Structures are given as C-alpha cells and as structure tokens.
Amino acid sequence: MSNIFWDGGSTLSFITNKRAKELRLKGEKIQLSILTIGAQTQMVESLIYEVTLIESNDRVHQVQAVGIDKISSSIQPINMNRISGIF
C-alpha cells in the first residue's frame, strides 16, 4: 500500500523511479520537456508507467505516471512560535 497526493489541477502525474522499481512496473521510454523557472526548457529521458490506483471502496483507476528520481526537494521546517499567537 502506498500513499498518493491527488492534485486535480496537475497536467502530469509522477512516480519516483525507486517506487516504480519496487512495484515492478514496466515503463515505456519517453522524452520529457520540462519548463523551469526563467522559462528554461530541459529535455529529460524518462519512462511512463501505467499505475493502478485502488480507492478505499475498491474502485480501480488506471493512471499514467512519469518516472522521476525525486518528487520535490527537501523542505526546511518553519518556526511558527512568533506567529502562533496571532491566529
């Protein structure tokens, strides 16, 4: 069982390459064009996978997900002590 984050506004779905390997998913090679901050385009070789998602009520969905090494960078914790009394 895995947790997912569902973003209805996303244009692509992603899965880490590590998790795809753990699930023994078979991928199809693709070239992915990534537009980064500053309008820089980067071409990346990747794999696209068919991923089966099963809801808690047993409804099954098939989703295409692009394999990437890392979903996001590390996020530093924020000290909320100074503003906690405001809200």
pLDDT averaged over every residue in the chain: 85
Residues 6+ apart with CB under 8 A from 72: none
Residue 37: burial class (beta carbons within 10 Å; 0-12, 13-18, 19+): exposed
User: pLDDT digit string (tens) for 20-52?
Assistant: 999 999 999 999 888 877 888 989 899 999 999
Calculate the CA 10 to chain-centre distance.
Answer: 10
pLDDT at 19 over 70: yes
Q: Is residue 16 part of a domain?
A: yes
Question: Region 51-74: what's the mean pLDDT?
Answer: 87
pLDDT at 53 over 70: yes
Q: Is residue 29 part of a domain?
A: yes
Owning domain of residue 22: 11-47
Q: Is residue 83 part of a domain?
A: no
Q: How many domains does the chain have?
A: 1
Q: Is residue 74 part of a domain?
A: no
Q: Is residue 32 part of a domain?
A: yes
Q: Is residue 20 part of a domain?
A: yes
Question: Region 1-27: what's the mean pLDDT?
Answer: 83
Q: Is residue 26 part of a domain?
A: yes
Q: What is the pLDDT of residue 46?
A: 94
pTM of the model: 0.68
Residues 6+ apart with CB under 8 A from 12: 66
Q: Is residue 72 part of a domain?
A: no
